[in-house]
Structure 1
Amino acid sequence: MTQNRNESPSYQLYDRALESLVGGVNSPVRADPQPTPAFVDYGDGGDIVDVDGDRYRDYIMGYGPLLLGHDLPDPVREAISETVADGPMYGIPTEIEVELAEFVIEHVESVERLRFVNSGTEATAAAIRLARGYTGRDKIVVMQGGYHGGHESVLVEGNLGDRGPSSAGIPETFAEETIPVPFNDDEALQEVFDRHGPDIAAVVTEPLLGNCGIVLPVEGYHETIRELCDEYGSLFILDEVITGFRVGGLQCAQGKYGIEPDLTTFAKIIGGGFPVGAIGGRAELMQEFTPMGDVFESGTFNGHPVTMAAGLETLRFAKDHDVYSHVNDLGKQLRAGLQDIVEEHAPEYTVAGTDSMFKLLFTREAPETFDGHCQAGCVQDPDCPRFDLCPKTGADVEAGETDRWKRTFWPAMADRGVLLTPNQLESQFVSYAHTEDDIDRTLDAYQDVLSTRDR
């Protein structure tokens, strides 16, 4: 990183941005790096270069959309360029949105119909509205530590007996209808249904917590959700905004884990780096959206042709070039290497992730032995000696050394040319542009930083 920070172009840009943008940024997490965020100049494969001329091995990857890395393959780039040349957008249907919908339906078993929107937030808001309209009920259940975007129905914190808005500007009445429960907690979910089952429109969850560290599901948890939803006539909404077409490959996380949702929300990868969201599910449910049904959903930029072209060609490229084997192998190598490092230097920390997702969680308790330990990140194996210590809920992650991650660990990794998400909660991603050499150099940086604990 540039040493004379107050004279750097990033510092000067941030100072300038504070005069025109709220907090100098357009999303609050971007303000986290201290003392000021670096401003990107350009992406290069698996790296980014900032305006100060510093190069970083990038594992933020746009917070997930950049499955292929920063350099788009020729077929993707050409499809985007041709679509832009034809005209930026129309507000009238195009063939490309039909083709992308057909691709998703072909590969994701639970999806029979789609509605494209413009973000993950729009997708989850519309899916919840659809569930309420279809069931005639108002209450929804969400997971503590889960993230489903920035709208009123999900910006709620607390528990069954004590909950409220998690942001100013949200009426208390929204919190009355949204009930947070701990992820992976069958008993808490059962209690909610025992008390409110006939009033619950839907349970909304990610396949794994992807915005609160990475917390994988305990075996049987999603089956419990499915059974309770069936028993009480509620809908099961699976938020695959992060995991869709990343975890589990083309079948998504629901295929990997055998989850059977009624509705699924998508975003990120299905737009190939452009703004996108989508709701998918059974035709019977999806046709409750206007113009077929009475649940309103509309958007000027829905099915934007440039986004549709980028998403479709990204997914086609991933299918035709064995992208998932590459990124998943690198993800496994990275997590396995991290496991070796933490066993030696930070045995209380937990390696988390699956496929091309990874995170080192700064948990506080070490197991008595590493014999029989998960070898490439926690998979919630009951026979693992660390099973009772690995995070099962969002609260478990937030109880870790989150300030240490942000204030000392993140800057130390950035100084070594490795760009991680700037706090303990967001996931990190391997892309198709990363190489085995990138993984080796990244592990060297982790080794260097974590070994300082011994000195």
Structure 2
Amino acid sequence: MNHEQSRALYDRALSVMPGGVNSSVRAIRPYPFFVQKGDGGHVVDADGNRYLDFVMGYGPLLLGHDIPEQVQSAVQRRASEGPMYGAPTEVEVELAEFVARHVPSVEMVRFVNSGTEATVSAVRLARGYTGRDKIVVMQGGYHGAQESTLVEGEGGDTHPSSPGIPESFAEHTLTVPFNDEEAAHTVFAKHGDDIAAVLTEPMLGNYGIVHPVEGYHETLRDLCDEHGSLLVFDEVITGFRVGGLQCAQGKFDIDPDLTTFGKIVGGGFPVGAIGGKSEIVEQFTPSGDVFQSGTFSGHPVTMAAGLETLRYAAENDVYDHVNGLGDRLRSGLQDILEDQAPEYTVVGTDSMFKVVFTRDAPDSFEGHCEAGCQQREECPRYEHCPKNAGDIKRAETERWERLFWPKMKEQGVFLTANQFESQFVCGAHTEEDIEEALEAYKEAI
């Protein structure tokens, strides 16, 4: 493949943008390819190279790059009527009604502009509602670029994970390993009266896709109820992707107090949202005292894109399509691993997938989870599959990034650039695309 134009663009970008990118995950070594356009389930770069795309904008593109006519028409109509107004519009009410109608725990919604902004606001709301300061997060869980959750450490012994964050922020953040019920009980036994909320993804989505073990979320729900804390699900990645319109909380049958959304709920445009019980969400200003505001919140173009994307998905069997392809892809990947790398682990569910380069597992695949690790105790690989972020971090992350990813790119398959972020199937992908991807995995693994 020729990459002269991408290399030249990266050289220009380095002069005017830190690291040549506007999001650090895009800083692919030795330099990223620059996308010229999307085309269905593919992207085309500045040099005309065409890639089968499983990044999907890091999750927002449920339908793929070709926007269906009803979505495109709604977006164009809203844009033609004026960019934004500083006043409410009907379409933001309609999208809020759609979310509240379909997501089990949501009665009221506040729209913001990014997943990070949603989690920042949810943490502030939980603290304001409970009158407490401490929050519990999962080690390795990602909740955006915000001071309260960019922490490292264990339990109450935490410190900021980035320069520029005062140590005092980390003092109020407690960490536990995902899927560790004992650690959750311990942190509540010590700090329960001070904990405003537990903030967790239903599945770890930025650390290799880690499925919850049976009973884990129920344990968190019980602990929060017992101690008067809020359970906050970060569904920025899983929202309207895992579990369809009910989201992951519907799939796992858990009722959080608050949920954060992003990505798909904006149909590919910048968006975030906080949803939950009315008595909690209405504590936001102006109905309550917890300040939250934003110039671009409820932007009419974004609201129209999100609403029509979700309507289209509901009316056109999109979830059956993408989940079926996801199952086929994960099953095919497991067949490949059984022959070539039995120590590796296929993870994901519905339209999310990943191969984690784990280092140890039985040679036999008899009785295993057939389309991605589901944390079944009866599975012979259960003791070896990743249970938390630490397990993913101990995988062969350098081999994934330095050898495997470039090999896939040279075969025309675009994956997320490291071992950790999720990959996604979209509505524009076909069975032929899945077979093409599997052939590339055979070669690269």
Range of TM-score over shorter length: over 0.9
Q: What's the CA shift string for 1:239-274, capped at 9, x where partnerless?
A: 000000000000000000011100000000000000
Q: 1:311 corresponds to which residue?
A: 306
Cα shift at 1:448 = 1.3
Q: Work out whether residues 100 and 312 of structure 1, in 8 Å CA contact, stay in contact via their aligned partners in 2.
A: yes
Q: How does 1:77-92 map to 2 (within 5 A)?
A: 77-92=72-87
**Equivalent residue for 1:10, pick from 6, 11, 21:** 6
Q: Kindly state the Cα deviation for residue 161 of structure 1 after the two structures are TM-superposed.
A: 4.7
String of CA shifts for 1:67-125, please: whole Å, max 9, x gaps: 00000000000000000011100010000000000000000111000000000000000
Aligned to 1:453: none
Partner of 2:60: 65
Q: Is the 8 A contact 1:246 1:269 kept in 2?
A: yes
Match of 1:216 among 192, 202, 211: 211
Find the residue that maps to 2:84 and give its secondary structure: coil
Q: How does 1:210-359 map to 2 (within 5 A)?
A: 210-359=205-354
For 2:259, what is the secondary structure of its paired residue? Answer: strand
Matched, 1:430 2:418: no
Secondary structure of the 1:342 match is helix
1:366-377 alignment to 2 at 5 Å?
366-377=361-372
CA distance in 2, matches of 1:114, 1:57: 35
CA distance in 2, matches of 1:328, 1:159: 36
Question: Does structure 2 retain, via aligned residues, the 8 Å contact 1:143–1:204?
Answer: yes
Please give the residue correspondences for 1:120-131 in structure 2 after superposition, counting only pairs within 5 Å. 120-131=115-126
CA contact (8 A) 2:137 2:176 kept: yes
Q: In structure 2, how many angstroms separate the alpha carbons of the residues matched to 1:335 and 1:345?
A: 15
Equivalent residues of 2:338, 2:363 under 8 A apart: no
Q: In the alignment, is the contact (CA less than 8 A) between 1:142 and 1:179 conserved in 2?
A: yes
User: What is aligned with 1:137?
Assistant: 132
Question: Aligned pair 1:162/2:157, yes or no?
Answer: yes
| Equivalent in 197, 207, 210 of residue 202 of structure 1 | 197
Q: TM-score, normalised by structure 1?
A: 0.97
Read off the aligned partner of 2:81 and give its amino acid letter. Answer: D
The aligned residue for residue 174 of structure 2 is: 179
Match of 1:22 among 12, 18, 24: 18
The residue identity in structure 2 corresponding to 1:253 is A
Aligned partner of 1:39 among 34, 41, 44: 34
Q: Is the 8 A contact 2:343 2:363 kept in 1?
A: no
Q: How many angstroms apart in 1 are the aligned matches of 2:263 and 2:360?
A: 34
C-alpha contact (below 8 Å) 1:368/1:385 kept by paired residues? no
| Rounded Cα–Cα distance in structure 2 between residues aligned with 1:52 and 1:404 | 27
Quote the Cα distance in structure 1 between the aligned partners of 2:261 and 2:30: 34
Secondary structure, aligned partner of 1:49: strand
Range with greater deviation from structure 2 (100-109 or 368-377): 368-377
Aligned equivalents of 1:310, 1:115: Cα separation in 2: 17
**CA–CA distance in 2 between the matches of 1:35 and 1:185?**
38
How far residue 369 of structure 1 moved from its aligned partner, in angstroms, is 2.3
Q: Secondary structure at the match of 1:284?
A: helix
* C-alpha distance in 1 between matches for 2:363 and 2:69: 51
- Out of 381, 389, 407, the position equivalent to 1:386 is 381
1:18 counterpart SS class:
helix
* CA distance in structure 2 between the aligned counterparts of 1:252 and 1:65, rounded to whole angstroms: 14
Cα distance in 2 for partners of 1:436, 1:369 equals 28
Shift of 1:52: 1.0
Tell me which amino acid in the other structure corresponds to 1:163: T
Structure 2 distance, partners of 1:264, 1:112, is 11
Indicate the SS of the match to 1:141. Answer: strand
Work out whether residues 349 and 372 of structure 2, in 8 Å CA contact, stay in contact via their aligned partners in 1: yes
Match of residue 106, structure 1, among 86, 98, 101: 101
Equivalent residue of 1:19, what SS?
helix
Partner Cα separation in structure 2 for residue 433 and residue 388 of structure 1: 36
Asked if 1 retains the 8 angstrom alpha-carbon contact of 2:342 and 2:363, the reply is no
Distance (whole Å) between structure 1 residues aligned to residue 199 and residue 29 of structure 2: 34
> Aligned with 2:217: secondary structure?
helix
Contact 2:36 2:46 survives alignment (8 Å):
yes
2 CA distance for matches of 1:376 and 1:228? 32
Aligned residues: 445
1:368 shift after superposition: 4.4
Tell me how far apart the structure 2 counterparts of residues 88 and 167 of structure 1 sit (CA, whole Å).
36
CA contact (8 A) 2:156 2:175 kept: no
- 2:10 aligned counterpart, secondary structure: helix
Distance 1:307 1:107 in 2: 19
Gaps of 5+ in 2: none
Task: For 2:7, give the aligned amino acid.
Answer: Y
1:150-201 CA-to-partner distances (Å, cap 9, x unmatched) read 0100101110153100000001111110011100000000000000000000
Answer yes or no: is the 8 Å Cα contact 2:113–2:297 preserved in 1.
Answer: yes
Deviation of 1:376 after TM superposition, in Å, equals: 0.8
Give the superposition deviation at 1:366.
2.1
- 1:189 and 2:184 aligned: yes
Q: Counterparts of 2:117 and 2:310 in 1: how far apart (Å)?
A: 22
SS in structure 2 of the partner of residue 179 of structure 1: strand
Shift of 1:35: 1.2
Q: In structure 1, what residue type is equivalent to 2:91?
A: I
- Runs of 4+ off more than 3 Å: none
User: RMSD of aligned C-alpha atoms?
Assistant: 0.6
Cα distance in 2 for residues equivalent to 1:17 and 1:127? 34
Task: Give the structure-2-normalised TM-score.
Answer: 0.99
Question: Deviation of residue 381 (structure 1)?
Answer: 0.7
Report the secondary structure of 2:38's partner residue.
strand
